[in-house]
Structure formats: structure tokens, C-alpha cells
């Protein structure tokens, strides 16, 4: 399959040149209807804006002059500066750069297509700096492709097989991204794990305190004709706070922290929030992970999606360039790691690794 890069660049260039053309036409119409302005400085901003749009449009079209080629087929991977057969490729992967933090918020750059050749094979381009010293090349920025990431990942999975790195080598060796669905070979229903707290006793305790505070506050409010002393004003604020804590406790009690693992996928719900559910068809791996800067006892359940899978929310972190989503810290669940591991071994199968 051949991938192209040009349609998006041309579209962007045409937009900039079109905006510049509209601006020049507007200034011409202004001259015809209103005549020449008294001060030429009045034209400074629109002229500079049009000139900037023209410059950006020219820059976009200049990008088309750079050589580009990407073919993924039975032979291997072909680029404008070389061709490698699958026998010469150790691994090929999508690697996500770190997010960019700015005043307008956080932006997440598109992934880069990277390739690791076998020992002794090189490409006539500058290799990437790596921590382990192994040779790795960035082939292209996927944001430049006319085709979508899903089409690229489908081609890499189909032709590359196990060479298509769906999860980091530090998690487990690369595995085919198309794996058997757990629903076909696992009997039974879901396993549900709840948080250690809160419970109904906490809600009832807070409800009792709120009711006790409410009675004298109501009597004073009914008999004081709107004149409160400092003590009763503070009492009233305390009553409102108590009812707020009671409502908060009730919501957390009725919708507790919950992790469910079943034949269809894995779902995680924080207290009093909606559930984040991911089917197995979008999951490459689930792992027990100890994040840097935490104690060894703080183990988290982390999910790594298949490359190109859209989970509907931003990732929490990166593991060696691969997107990762932290679901829950296991010590927040009843029985924790010891109870969750058997369920993952049953339903996640080869996707699960400690």
C-alpha cells in the first residue's frame, strides 16, 4: 500500500492564499467606495496580515518540493531514500512525542513512524538519539499523511506481523495486534472490584450530624425574624457544609469506585463519575506498573491501546513513546493486586503482563 502526503499541504496553502485574496479584494473595494485613506498607516495592519497569509501559503507549497515516499507491502518498507525488506527490519512502531504545554492549553502531536533495523543495516539519514544505544530511525510525521493513522496501522499489522511493535519492549515482546477475543473462549460473567471506601455508614453518620445541626438552626431562623448573632451565623454555615458533605458522601456511596473486567473489555469508574470502558478489540496490553517517584508498593493498573485506537480521552502518560492510560491504583481496591491479577489472566489472556 502506498501512502501520500500532499493533499493536506495543498489545502492549507490554498486557505492561506484564499484569505490573502479576500483581504486584498476587501481593501480594493474600500478604495473604490471610500477613496484613499487620509493616513497610510491605516493600511498597515491589513497589508501586513495579507502579506503574512501569502508568505504562509508559499511556505506550504514549498513543502511539496521535499522528497516523500512511503510504501508498505509484502516486500517491506520503501521510503524516498531507501528500501528495507521485512528480514532487515527488527521492529516498526508509532511513537508519540511528549505533549506541548502552552498558554492555549495542552496539545498532543501526531505520532511518528519509527523503524529499528536489524544489526548491520542502516539508512542514509540521521538516526534518532536513544537511551539504549540501539539504532532507530524516524521515517515520517504521520500528521503529514493524506491517509489516516488507522489505514497506516492496518497496513503495518497486515504486512509487518510481529515486527509491528504495538507495546514497548519493556512491557513485553511485540505481538500481533490482532488477537483472539476473550469472549470466544472464556465462560462466565464479569469480575467487579470496588473501592475500599466509602460505605453506607459514613453517609448515615454525616446525615445524622446534618440533621442534628439543622433542628436548632431551623428554630432560630423561624424565631429571630432575620436577626442572627455571630454564633448562629456560624452555626448556619456549618449546617450548610454538613449537608454538602452528606450529599457528596451519598453520591460516592451510590456510585463507588469500580473496576470491572469481563469478556467484552475492561471498565473503570471513579467515585461519582461516568465509566471509562475499553473493549478488548482496542487493547494491546494491560500491565501492573510502578510509576517513577512512587514506592514499590504503589502498583497501578495501566492500559496500552492498539496503535491508532481512539479511546475518547487523553492519555495519562507515555511508556517509551507508546500511549498509556492509568486506570486505578490497586491499593485503592478491596484485596488489590491479588484479586485483580487472576481476572486479568482469565479475560485479557496474552494482553496481560506483570
Average pLDDT across each block of 10 residues of the chain; the chain has 354 residues. List them in order. Answer: 77 82 80 68 75 83 74 89 89 88 76 91 87 85 85 90 86 59 54 75 77 76 64 78 79 77 90 85 90 70 90 88 90 83 88 85
The answer to whether 235 and 213 have CB atoms below 8 angstroms apart is yes
Measured distance CA(197)–CA(4) in Å, rounded: 53
> pTM score, two decimals?
0.69
Beta bridge partners of 95: 112
Measure CA 90 to chain center.
Answer: 27
Give the model's pLDDT for residue 183.
44
Give the model's pLDDT for residue 89.
92
Q: Match 475499553 to its residue by C-alpha cell.
A: 278
Measured distance CA(347)–CA(170) in Å, rounded: 22
Measured distance CA(51)–CA(56) in Å, rounded: 9
Q: Check the CA dihedral 235-238-244-246 and report its sign.
A: negative
* Coil, strand or helix at 52: helix
Give the model's pLDDT for residue 182.
45
Q: How far apart are the first and last CA of the chain?
A: 36
Give the model's pLDDT for residue 92.
92
Amino acid at each position: 500500500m502506498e501512502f501520500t502526503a500532499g493533499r493536506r499541504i495543498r489545502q492549507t496553502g490554498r486557505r492561506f492564499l484564499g484569505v490573502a485574496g479576500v483581504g486584498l479584494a476587501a481593501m480594493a473595494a474600500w478604495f473604490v467606495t471610500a477613496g484613499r485613506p487620509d493616513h497610510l498607516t491605516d493600511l498597515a495592519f491589513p497589508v501586513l496580515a495579507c502579506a503574512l497569509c501569502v508568505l504562509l501559503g508559499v511556505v506550504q507549497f514549498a513543502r511539496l518540493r521535499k522528497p516523500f515516499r512511503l510504501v508498505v507491502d509484502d516486500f517491506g518498507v520503501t521510503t524516498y531514500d531507501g528500501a528495507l525488506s521485512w528480514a532487515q527490519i527488527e521492529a516498526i512502531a508509532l511513537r508519540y512525542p511528549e505533549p506541548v504545554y502552552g498558554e492555549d492549553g495542552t496539545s498532543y502531536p501526531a505520532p511518528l513512524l519509527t523503524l529499528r533495523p536489524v544489526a548491520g543495516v542502516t539508512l542514509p539519514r540521521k538516526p534518532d538519539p536513544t537511551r539504549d544505544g540501539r539504532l532507530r530511525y524516524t521515517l515520517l510525521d504521520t500528521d503529514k499523511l493524506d491517509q489516516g493513522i488507522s489505514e497506516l496501522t492496518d497496513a503495518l499489522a497486515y504486512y509487518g506481523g510481529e515486527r509491528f511493535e504495538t507495546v514497548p519492549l519493556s512491557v513485553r515482546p511485540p505481538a500481533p495486534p490482532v488477537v483472539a477475543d476473550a469472549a470466544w473462549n472464556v465462560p462466565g460473567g464479569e469480575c467487579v472490584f470496588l473501592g475500599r471506601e466509602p460505605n453506607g455508614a459514613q453517609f448515615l453518620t454525616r446525615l445524622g450530624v446534618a440533621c442534628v445541626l439543622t433542628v436548632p438552626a431551623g428554630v432560630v431562623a423561624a424565631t429571630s425574624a432575620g436577626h442572627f448573632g455571630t454564633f448562629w451565623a456560624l452555626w448556619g454555615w456549618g449546617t450548610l457544609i454538613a449537608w454538602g458533605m452528606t450529599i457528596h458522601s451519598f453520591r460516592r456511596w451510590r456510585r463507588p469506585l469500580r473496576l470491572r473486567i469481563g469478556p467484552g473489555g475492561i471498565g473503570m469508574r471513579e467515585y461519582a463519575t461516568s465509566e471509562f470502558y475499553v473493549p478488548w478489540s482496542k487493547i494491546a496490553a494491560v500491565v501492573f506498573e510502578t510509576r517513577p517517584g512512587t514506592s514499590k508498593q504503589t502498583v497501578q493498573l495501566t492500559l496500552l491501546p492498539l496503535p491508532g485506537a481512539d479511546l475518547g480521552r487523553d492519555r495519562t502518560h507515555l511508556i517509551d513513546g507508546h500511549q498509556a492510560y492509568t486506570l486505578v491504583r490497586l491499593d485503592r481496591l478491596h484485596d488489590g493486586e491479588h484479586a485483580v491479577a487472576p481476572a486479568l489472566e482469565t479475560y485479557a489472556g496474552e494482553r496481560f503482563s506483570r
